[in-house]
Structure 1
Amino acid sequence: MSRVLWVPAVDHAEAESIAAGVGSGRLGHIEHYLSPEAAGRVADHLNRVAIKHRIDIRRSVFRVEQRAGDDGWIWVARIVDAIGAAAAAILIVCVGPYAVGFATLI
């Protein structure tokens, strides 16, 4: 099971930090992070406040995906996840028949 959060932030590192706070319950208002439209409204509001106070920070919306684990939500490392899936497929296709054949000899 995975969950996608749409987080208004300056960069992706800040978005992951905010998503971790939302996932752990430290930050409320999860409804602001469940759709890109709601997150866009929050980002627009934060940008207007920054302009009003003459702060040169612009927030945009980042997509952060979390996957459920036994001990809570973990971040999805897409490259490592894809490499692991490919390695598992190769192992099953190439090594599986030899393992079954060897097991029949024992």
Structure 2
Amino acid sequence: MKHQLLTKIHDHSATVAVIGLGYVGLPLAVAFAEKGFPVVGIEVDGRKVAAVQRGESYVQDIPSERLATLTNDERRTMEGHQPSTIGPRLGRAASAKVEGSAGGVAGAERRGGRP
């Protein structure tokens, strides 16, 4: 399992799930997406999810143009979802989950592992 994850990280095929798309989570999700990782952003605020899906930023450090290049390309490098729309698929889809919080990265969990 560890070797598989490291291989996916190395070749950028690991799907990263960022939980919380606020002023910490959105820049984190954008950073992973800009490095070529597929990113799924999970956010309870439907307005933020809709904004991400439209490529419109609500975070000062992330210009909308920068976000739009990630959400509107044909590969859809980055997607936003509410927890109710992703549900149990998240555990199967994501290779790594990262939680963004005001205190920095609050937790990370390897797929199948414990936080």
Same fold (TM over 0.5): no
Comparing both structures, which one devotes a greater share of its residues to helix? 1
TM-score, normalising length: structure 2: 0.24
TM-score, normalising length: structure 1: 0.25
